[in-house]
Amino acid sequence: MKNWPLWEVFVRSKNGLEHRHCGSLHASDATMALENARDVYTRRMEGVSIWVVPSKEITASNPDDSAELFDPAKDKAYRHPTFYELPEELKHM
Amino acid sequence: MQNNLVQYIYGIADNALILGQRLGELCGHGPNLETDIAMTNIALDLLGQTRSYYQYAAKLTGNEATEDTIAFLRSEREYKNVLIVEQPNTDFAYSIGRQFLFDVYHLLMLEQLQNSSDETLQAIAKKSIKEVSYHKRFSLDWIKRLGDGTEESHTKMQNAINDLWTFTDELFYQTDADKAMVSEQIGVDVTQLKDTYYSIISDILTESTLQVPDLKYFQKGGKQGIHSEHMGYILADLQYMQRTFPNMNW
């Protein structure tokens, strides 16, 4: 069991919302990963749908590259859509 | 009639209580974190079901009876659970084998209990079916993985099934209280479930490359309150706090 691969778990908390990453777990295959995810991450009514993805399939950005990847966005306030007057009826923008 | 109904409820609820207690022993001791949580989730489902049954039994009994007095203050002979649920967590294969052999029965029984003429039992059965369907899915999945896994997991799974098989026939034994409740359309006629049970079990075992044991002699007694040597230890753990500090709360 200590050789079981790692899986990333994504849970959708209710219909209409997106799946969100909530953690990881060990399982020998996808079926077991789904069942383990159900038991570990949805036991307090957290979800209505689960995705599991093998952790090794995820390509991550390198933290060493953070400066060139993310820092340049810091002083670009004009990219935030905060300069519009929103109508009253729009609640969730 | 009232007493028969209470005894009939004990016959169902005590299975859930004792199996829940057995699974609870695995808390912090499962083979890995994920399985540990899965098995204690099942334990909590079973304790939840137990509470619903005991609350109903307490109401029928009246006097000072509560779900707690029923759970904690009966003597060994007054528990009516089947022997299989008392069997220890010898190893993971035993815990899974015990769960599987019980879950298949449990689901078949609840499917019929949904049609009970007693509205409370009907409602508890409807609520429990969803939980027990998952229990069965979990244990059945593991039977296949261990049976059709490595040579060692296969041997351990086969040993567990061989040893636990002797307790399966008791699931279909009827006490006088059971018979009385069947005749009132309150209880489930478990004798009718036997063939379906063994055919489901045989199919799964065969699919898992496990042998179906060929056994002529079966153990029984739990339903009449005659338990195996394990039961005293379970009750000692379960009842200790209420016996030592009566009416204790937290």
Among B171, B149, B167, CA closest to B158: B149
Task: Kindly tell me if the per-residue pLDDT of B1 is higher than 60.
Answer: no
Give how far A23 is from chain B: nearest CA, Å.
Answer: 13
Question: What is the structure's pLDDT at B172?
Answer: 97
d(CA B73, CA B235): 10
- In chain A, the residue whose alpha carbon lies closest to the alpha carbon of B141 is A32
Question: Does some domain include residue B37?
Answer: yes
Q: Judged by CB atoms within 8 Å, which residues 200-219 of B form the interface with A?
A: none
Q: What is the pLDDT of residues A28-77, one digit of tens each?
A: 999 999 999 999 999 888 889 999 999 999 999 999 988 888 888 888 87
Confidence of residue A78 (pLDDT cuts 50, 70, 90): confident
List, in sequence order, the alpha helices (H) in chain B: 2-24, 33-61, 67-72, 92-113, 119-147, 151-164, 176-183, 194-207, 230-244
Q: Distances from the Cα of B31 to the Cαs of A37, B46, B165, in angstroms?
A: 16, 21, 24
Burial of B114 (C-beta count, 10 Å sphere; 0-12/13-18/19+): middle
Contacts B145 to A, Cβ<8 Å: 28, 32
Chain B environment of A27 (Cβ under 8 Å): 34
How many angstroms separate the CA atoms of B104 and B82, rounded? 14
pLDDT at residue A73, as a whole number: 82
Could you give phi then psi for residue A6, rounded to 5 degrees? -90, 145
- Find the CATH number of the domain harbouring B222: 1.20.1260.10
- Is B250 domain-assigned? no
Which residues does B152 contact at the CB level (< 8 Å), separation at least 6? Answer: none
**By the 8 A CB rule, do B153 and B146 touch?**
yes
Closest-CA residue to B42 (of B142, B153, B171): B142
Task: Quickly state the pLDDT bin for B175 (edges 50, 70, 90).
Answer: very high
Angstrom distance (rounded) from CA B241 to CA B250: 11
Cross-chain Cβ contact B41/A25 below 8 Å: no
Q: How far is A73 from chain B (nearest CA, A)?
A: 40
Tell me the residues of A at the B interface, defined by beta carbons under 8 Å apart: 1, 4, 25-28, 31-32, 35-36, 39-40, 43
Q: Token digits for B165?
A: 């098989």
Instruction: Give domain status of residue B249, yes or no.
Output: no
Q: Does B141 touch chain A (CB under 8 A)?
A: yes
Best residue in A35, A38, A41, A42 for a mutation probing chain B (most B CBs within 10 Å) = A35
Q: Are B145 and A28 in contact (CB < 8 Å)?
A: yes
Phi, psi of A16 (to 5 degrees): 100, -25
Hey, is B192 helix, strand or coil? helix
**What pTM was computed for the model?**
0.87
- Could you tell me if the ipTM is greater than 0.85? no
Note whether B150 contacts A: Cβ–Cβ < 8 A.
no
Amino acid present at A71: D
Q: Distance, in angstroms, between A18 CA and closest chain B CA?
A: 25
The answer to whether A43 and A52 have CB atoms below 8 angstroms apart is: no
Phi, psi of A9 (to 5 degrees): -110, 130
**DSSP label of B30:** S
Could you give the CA distance from residue B138 to residue A27 in angstroms, rounded to a whole number? 14
Closest partner CB to A25 (pick from B31, B34, B145): B34
Kindly list the residues from chain A whose CB atom is less than 8 angstroms away from the CB atom of residue B31: 1
The total of structural domains in chain B comes to 1
CB B50 within 8 A of CB B16: yes
Which pLDDT score, from 0 to 100, does residue A1 have?
64
Domains in chain A with CATH codes: 6-78 (3.10.20.520)
pLDDT reading at B243 higher than 90:
yes
**Domain of B112, in residue numbers:** 2-244
